[in-house]
Amino acid sequence: MSSELEELRSAVREELADLWCDLHHAQTYSINGRWSMACERLEERIKALTPLVGPTPWEEIQIPLLENGVYQRIHTDLGITVEPDMRRVAQLQALINAGEL
């Protein structure tokens, strides 16, 4: 694979991770705290890029998106299986809640 192509793939992966973060913020600050038009647009962008480079690893996804199943649902919609370690997610959230992370 050419270095230019690998640089492009790397840029798409980075953009995809940023889109997940943006989705987390959009969902957090939506009027109902659940979903908004901004969330819809970000989901569309995530769905456009994910097939190009594969799923963003669950370890790079904001915990609420894993806990509420958004990460899993979006990938299911794309026909991609993702299996976040929800036990580990719960452990990380507990550490965050305890102020240890």
- Give residue-wise pLDDT tens across range 9-66: 999 999 999 999 999 999 999 987 789 999 999 999 999 999 999 999 999 999 999 9
Number of H helices, E strands in the chain: 5, 0
Q: What count of residues does the chain have?
A: 101
Tokens of 60: 């790079």
pTM: 0.91
Q: Report pLDDT for 33.
A: 75
Tokens of 41: 């647009």
User: What does the alpha-carbon distance between residue 2 and residue 98 come to, in Å, rounded to a whole number?
Assistant: 46
Q: How confident is the model at residue 1 (pLDDT cuts 50, 70, 90)?
A: low
